[in-house]
Structure 1
Amino acid sequence: MQIKQFEAKDMTEGLRMVKKEFGNDAVILSAKTLQKTGRFLGTVKQAGVIITAATDPIQTGLNKKLKSYANTGHVTSALSDKTDAQGLSSKTDAFLDALGSDRHQEPCRPPHSSGVHAIPGVEIRKTLNLIKGRLLSQGVENPIAKEVIGEIEQRLPTAGSPSSLALKRTFSEFIRQRHLIADPIHRAGKTPLTIALVGPTGVGKTTTTVKLAVQYKLEMNYRVGIITLDHYRIAATAALMTYSNITDIPCEIVSNAGELRQALKSMKKMDLIMIDTPGVGLNDKPELNRVAGLLDKVSPDQVYLVLASMTKNADMLAYHHYFESTGFDRLIFSKLDETSVYGNIFNLLIKMNTPVAYLTGGQTIPENIRPVTIDTLLDLILPESVLVDNTVQGRVLSRTRHIKTPAEKTVPEYEFVANRNSDIFHHNECKSVSRIHRDNIIHFSNITEAMEQNFKPCRMCCMENIDPKLVMKPLKRAAQGRY
């Protein structure tokens, strides 16, 4: 595209100059009246016009060649001779040769088409950066967030802004291919399906056992029996027997392998047998070996590790490794009602590649348990309100302010923030934070995390909380030329 300004004394002369320079294919972009001033006291000396015009040299040359070739009559004769296929082919080749190299050039984009599509992938990267911020705010670890966003970016189209539907489909496909979700309990044969639940103390294994038993009895019309190995806690055993009497679900308490085999034999006509085990702490290896030994002797069909959803990332990994001797092959996350940050769940699923089958929270039986689907898992870390397609602005993230409930206010927030367009990080109560646009905010859980990403502390709010060693480390790297 060639653009040029033409100055003339009137519009007629200006248009004549444009036509002479650019030809009939010129496009007038603007025209304005001009008054020239004299050198003496700014007096008006002469009026005129300035015309801004443009032309596309490639398209102009192409049009000229088409016109000259059409005037020779070759195109008409070639098209009229329908029976001579070879002649038509040769004349078509001649026609294309006449166009020359211009036919291989991409036509220039019209002036009005400039915008987000001028640089392919910019809107996608902008969108994915915002989604990555949401993942980080939910507690998803930075390496995992990068891995997820990288895979999602490869699956999206390379230009334009993806719609909310396209984003959801892409994330869903990622979850499906990673096999992060286990099928719910289903009895396929005629023999009873035996399910065992293991996990740490206090995560709600007994309550979860009752929820599943009652749900399958009432909703699936299964014949269900419960066996508990937890004969230590009198209160838990009493509560289990109470539920058994109310729901008419048989329940037996056992303490060794012989009693466990006998209980299973007495329930051989059941469709589903739930085995509840005692909670085991990280330092109680003998009890873990006892539980694992009992389960090994009866070989349950499925073993679930139950973890509380507010458990820290490091503890979740520790429990996952600790209970491997029980042979668990799927997960249940409990107490979802006691937290609003679920990134630790996603971290564990990605790192260990063990699928999750159920989510549970609350004490209502059996309503407060549900099988996991792609939508429920996606909604934990990327709610539907986040994947909103704003067709006017081309944005796909909703950043509306969320008013916290009293329960949510008790959850600790990220303590430090930074502007992605700056190199300074602040405490979240610093007055400078209010001037950062919400789309540019980056969250850090601690000072070390911020400084490891080469952000510098705000002198107004952060310096008094910083270990001098953390400040010296980046200075040493800078002195060594590693920045």
Structure 2
Amino acid sequence: MLVKTFEAVDMSEALRMVKAELGPDAMIISSRKEKKKGLFGFFSKPVVQVTAGLEMKPRQPAQNPYREAPEPQLSAKEMMESSMLAPLARELKELRERVEILSRKETAARAGAAPRAEEPAVKPAVVAPVPEPATDPGTKPIAKQDLEEMKKLLFKTLAAREAGEGAARAEAPAPAAQPKAKSADPGEVKGFGGLRGALRMVVNELHRKGLERGAVRAVMEQLQPEAKRGGTAETIRPFLPQAFKSVIKCAGPLTLKKNGPRIIALVGPTGVGKTTTVAKLAALYSLREGHRAALVTIDNFRVGAVEQLKTYSRIMGVPVEVAATPMELEAAIELHSDKELILIDTAGRSPKDMEKIGELKGFLESRFAIEIHLCLAATTRDRELQEIVERFGVLPISRVIFTKLDESESYGCIVNAHLRTKFPLSFFTTGQRVPEDLEIATAGRLAGLVLGECKQ
């Protein structure tokens, strides 16, 4: 890792120097403020010292285009068959050599005799020539009948080899008949076997939409009155949107006051789009609704994140502050206490790094009332969403924002995570445009996405 220390009059200038020297991928290792001595020890002025590092990626060795391809390997089945047939192959080879030797001896014994117009009953297979052993003068010529018997034995063995595998399969006992199980839908959810056909079809449909068993049960409880009236799957399905609305709780739009700011911090794993979501919220409530807003970032680990938020602030005309310590965060909030909305962008944290999540908790434990919204991506799997919520649960989370709905094919995970955590849903993001791709979360919108009744 390449490590360098930069000195500037403030944090913004120091970050600009880091980006210019090491690039946007640089990581801030430490930062501190100190007073630099002036002339004869007087006229000292505060400066910021920032230590940054850049991970040097090792070069990958170039692949040799002329490298020979590895020889094909035998499969396990081919190796097994080869090992099973090896003894039989050796036996056949020895038998063919013996027949050939006997044939040559027969020919030598009848040397000088007139050839007989007699063909063997069975034409022998072509075999590779083998060296002829020395002929013993005292060897008794072999009778032709014995030679024919040896040849028949050879061909019989060859035929048995070819038909051996098929005969073994034919003689193998048939597997015992298993009791026929009751037919069921491949997507049937366990625990709902007692439902009659109409409800079971709806249950399986919800399961295929990505809802886990607990979420399916919560939705189905809302459909029980219609089912008791003898409804079919076709008559019950139109009641699904209303059933979703009954179990999904959304926070609604932000309510702002004139006598003090509402302070909201966005937290979550890396890469879920917190910085872009902060900019979208600022644009929605400052540009469209005319509220006074300010931005604060405590993401000092990615140099590019600060510059990105500053770019958005210049476009929207919204002030932005950079805080490197909890004291600086409180000072920034105090500076903009006349605003109606203060949005705080935080650094992404891995759910497996509890130390970093603990540091984030220390930042947000302030004398000011900071409302924490957890950002989650709709493209995340159920098991990972559960782990993220559990790890970030050390923070006082009050709302959940789901991002990247435009990149997801299934939305059942949103319902599952919401019903497990009971945190109200506040916003959905559906793209990168600011502020167009942001919408207030509603149960009807989520139901339409899950059931495929509305497009993204």
Correspondence for 2:369 among 300, 311, 330: 300
Identify the match of residue 204 of structure 2 among 110, 123, 133.
133
Separation of aligned partners in 1, 2:401 and 2:198: 32
From 376, 380, 384, the equivalent of 1:311 is: 380
Instruction: Write the distance in 2 (CA, Å) between the matches of 1:316 and 1:382.
Output: 21
- Indicate if the aligned counterparts of 2:241 and 2:444 stay in contact, CA closer than 8 A: no
1:215 maps to 284
How much does 1:146 deviate?
A: 3.5
Residue 302 of structure 1 deviates from its aligned partner by 2.2
Change (3 A) 1:173 1:341: closer
Paired amino acid for 1:131: V
The answer for the alignment partner of 2:265 in structure 1 is 196
Gaps of 5+ in 1: 1-123, 386-404, 409-483
Residue in structure 1 matched with residue 402 of structure 2 by the alignment? 333
Q: Comparing 264-273 with 186-195, which one deviates more in the overlay?
A: 186-195
Q: Does the alignment pair 1:251 with 2:320?
A: yes
Contact 1:213/1:274 (CA < 8 Å) preserved in 2?
yes
TM-score, scaled relative to structure 1: 0.51
Q: Secondary structure at the match of 1:286?
A: helix
User: 1:172 — aligned with what?
Assistant: 242
Q: Does 1:159 align with 2:230?
A: yes
Q: Which amino acid aligns with 1:273?
A: I
Partner SS, residue 281 of structure 2: helix
Aligned identity (percent) is 31
Q: Which amino acid aligns with 2:435?
A: P
User: Residue 355 in 1 paired to residue 418 in 2?
Assistant: no
User: Contact conserved, 1:155 with 1:170, CA < 8 A, in 2?
Assistant: no
Provide the residue aligned with 2:216 in structure 1. Answer: 145
Aligned residue for 2:104? none
C-alpha displacement at 1:372, in angstroms?
Answer: 1.1
Is the 2:198–2:231 contact (alpha carbons within 8 Å) kept by the matching residues of 1? no
Whole-angstrom distance in 2 between the partners of 1:224 and 1:324: 28
Q: 1:172 Cα deviation (Å)?
A: 2.7
Does the C-alpha gap of structure 1 residues 287 and 238 become closer, same or farther in structure 2, counting only changes over 3 Å?
same
Partner residue of 1:236 out of 294, 300, 305: 305
Report the TM-score when normalising by structure 2.
0.53
Match of 2:64 in 1: none
What SS class does the counterpart of residue 303 from structure 1 fall into?
A: strand
Matches within 5 A, 1:21-420: 126-154=197-225, 158-161=229-232, 171-172=241-242, 175-176=245-246, 178=247, 180-188=249-257, 190-384=259-453
* Equivalent-residue separation in structure 2 for 1:173 and 1:133 (angstroms): 16
Q: Give 1:233's aligned amino acid.
A: R
Counterpart-to-counterpart distance in 1, 2:240 and 2:210: 21
CA contact (8 A) 2:199 2:233 kept: no
Tell me the distance in 2 between the aligned counterparts of 1:338 and 1:300: 34
CA contact (8 A) 1:224 1:272 kept: yes
Q: Which has the higher Rg, Structure 1 or Structure 2? A: 2
Contact kept in structure 2, 1:134 and 1:382, CA below 8 Å = no
Q: CA deviation at 1:132?
A: 2.4
Deviation per residue, 1:197-232 (Å, 9 max, x gap): 110011100111101111111221111100011011
Opposite residue 207 of structure 1, the aligned amino acid is T
Deviation at 1:296, TM superposition (A): 1.3
Report the Cα offset of residue 156 of structure 1.
5.2
Query: What SS is found at the alignment partner of 1:180?
Result: coil
Cα distance in 1 between the residues matched to 2:196 and 2:254: 40
Closer/same/farther in 2, CA of residues 220 and 127 from structure 1, 3 Å limit: farther
SS of equivalent to 2:365: helix
Give me the whole-angstrom Cα distance separating, in 2, the residues matched to 1:179 and 1:384.
17
SS class of match (2:229): coil
Q: Secondary structure at the match of 2:397?
A: coil
* Structure 1 position 273, deviation (Å): 0.5
Q: Deviation at 1:347?
A: 0.8
CA distance in 2, matches of 1:356, 1:283: 24
Q: Distance in 2 between matches of 1:216 and 1:344?
A: 29
Structure 1 pair 357/156, CA: closer, same or farther in 2 (3 Å)?
farther
Counterparts of 1:278 and 1:383, CA distance in 2: 34
Cα distance between partner residues in 2 of 1:163 and 1:140 = 20
Gaps of 5+ in 2: 1-194
In the superposition, relative to structure 1, how do residues 139 and 162 fare at CA in structure 2: closer, same or farther (>3 Å)? closer
CA distance in 2, matches of 1:225, 1:128: 51
- Superposed counterparts of 1:432-443, under 5 Å: none
1:129 is displaced (CA, Å) by 3.2
Q: What displacement does 1:346 show? A: 0.9
Q: In the TM superposition, what is the alpha-carbon distance from 1:354 to its structure 2 partner? A: 1.4
Q: Does the aligned pair in 2 maintain the 1:228–1:275 contact within 8 Å?
A: yes
Structure 1 pair 319–153 and aligned structure 2 pair: CA distance change class (3 A): same
Distance 1:190 1:163 in 2: 53
- The 1:383–1:193 alpha-carbon spacing in structure 2 relative to 1, beyond 3 Å, is same
Distance in 1, Cα, partners of 2:424 & 2:298 = 25
Deviation at 1:237, TM superposition (A): 1.1
Query: How far, CA to CA, are the matches of 1:301 and 1:169 in structure 2?
Result: 39
Deviation at residue 248 of structure 1 after TM alignment: 0.6
Structure 1 residues 128, 301: closer, same or farther in 2, change over 3 A?
A: farther
Q: Equivalences for 1:448-459 in 2 at 5 Å?
A: none
What is the aligned partner in structure 2 of residue 401 from structure 1? none
Q: CA deviation at 1:179?
A: 5.3
